[in-house]
Every structure is written in C-alpha cells, then in structure tokens.
Structure 1
Amino acid sequence: MAPRVNTRAAGVDESATPELTYLIRVFGSRALVLGWGYLRSDDSGRRRWRRLNLLMGVCDTADGPAHVVRGDIRRGAAIGLTAATGAYATLGVVGVLADRRAATAGSSRR
C-alpha cells in the first residue's frame, strides 16, 4: 500500500500516474484482505484461502509473459513482476500440495 516503494521495487517508471498509484493501492488492499482472511480462518477455511490465493497468483503470473509478448510495458518491469507473482504462485502450489498430502495421510490412518 506504498505505491512508490512498489513501483521502484518492480522497476516501473518513477513518474507513476494517479491511475497507477490507485491501482497499486487496490492490489495492496486485496493482498491485505486475503492475508487477513487466511490468518483468521480455521483449518478448512485456510485450505480454501490457499486455493484462492493460488488461483490469483497463477492468473497474475500468466499475465506477465503476455505483456512481454505484446511489448506494451518495459520488458524488465514485466519480467520483475512476473518473477514476484511467480514466487507467490509457487508458494501457493506448495501449500495446496501440502494440504493434499495431509488429507491423504489423514484418510489412510482411518
């Protein structure tokens, strides 16, 4: 929720437009709410939040290469943002797989 810090970290032009600043705040709020929902949930709720976060991470990550191909944003910025969202998606995959392993182990004990 610090637009200028985020744009610098992502390699985006420092002269952020008001629209870009607003958009970054929207996504910061989205991340905050998703994290809060996850932390405040019970185990089954956390599994749902993990899947939702994974879906969002995959969608955000898939968008990066599309921008590189279209050439509508600087290549370095697109690659940096794709790497960041790819890390989120990777962590999401790890979490969902851990959930599945735990569910399988729990059902085999019965």
Structure 2
Amino acid sequence: MNTREHSTGSPPVDRTTGVPAATPSGEADRGALATALRGLAAGRIVLGAAAILAPHAMARASGVRPSPELGYMTRVFGARAIALGLGYLTAPGPERSRWQRLALLVDTLDTAHGAARLARGDLPRPTALGYTALTGAYMAIGATRLARDLS
C-alpha cells in the first residue's frame, strides 16, 4: 500500500507519519540525514581545499613527517574530496544518490585501509585513529542513507 500523497508544489508526505517522503531521487526533501549528507559534502570540499593548498601543514597537524611524495598524494586526495563534494551538492536530484553511493564506496575503502594501518601499527596511532574515525563517520552516515534507500 502506498502511503505517499503527491500535491502540486509541495514534497510528497507519508500520511502515517506526516514526514516528507523520499523524492524520486531517493533524497528526502528535509530531515537530519539529508542535512548531514550536505554537511559531509561541504566538509569534503573544505578538507580537499586544505589538502591542495597546504599539504605539508596537514601532514604536520596529523603527526606525519611531510615529504614531496606525501605532498603530491595529499593533493590527489584533495582533488578527489572536492570532486565528491561538488558532485553531490551540484547533482540534480535523480543523480544525487549515485554521488552519495560513490562517496560511500570511497569512505568504506578508506576506513578499511585505516583499520588495517591501525592493526599493523605502521603509522602514528593518533594519526591512524583520527583518520579512520573520520572516514568511519562518513561511512556510517552514507551507509544509513543507503539502508534507507533500500528499505
């Protein structure tokens, strides 16, 4: 049974809860999860810009010794982060879920890699823990969105 009502000029609303239902793009028009995803996208852009503009400062702040190689890879990370953030924020509604799922894939891989680094102990523990917690939080929010999309 369909519990959504559609009216011209307003988002569909679930009749049982009164909460805006998912739009055809899978993105809720309002709600904490949609706000969190937009915030994560904006955070990606800010972090990416910092990585491009000041890679050695980011390394030092993370407790890692800067090097030319690390500076290059940090800038690569920055470009990826900016692309994911801008892609999500500027995508038309029907395409936004694709960008969110791509970001979830990246966050899952980054979190798994961070967990492996923690287990190996080959990075300063605070650095590995901090980045793994950051990407893990992004992953958890993205996985929550995917679970809602699939339910």
Map of 1:104 onto structure 2: none
What is the 5 A alignment of 1:1-110?
A: 1=52, 2-9=54-61, 11-13=62-64, 15-100=65-150
Q: Is the 8 A contact 2:118 2:125 kept in 1?
A: yes
Structure 2 unaligned runs (5+)? 1-51
Question: What percent of counterpart residues are identical?
Answer: 45
- TM-score (ref. length: structure 1): 0.78
Contact 2:107 2:139 in 1 (8 A): yes
- If you compute each CA radius of gyration, which structure gives the higher value, 1 or 2? 2
Query: Which portions of structure 1, spanning 4 or more consecutive aligned residues, are displaced by more than 6 angstroms?
Result: none
Aligned pairs, number: 99
Shift of 1:36: 1.3
AA partner of residue 12 (structure 1): G
List gaps (5 residues or longer) in structure 1.
102-110
TM-score by length of 2: 0.59
Higher percent of residues as helix: 1
Question: Which protein, 1 or 2, shows the higher relative CO under an 8 Å CA cutoff with sep ≥ 6?
Answer: 1
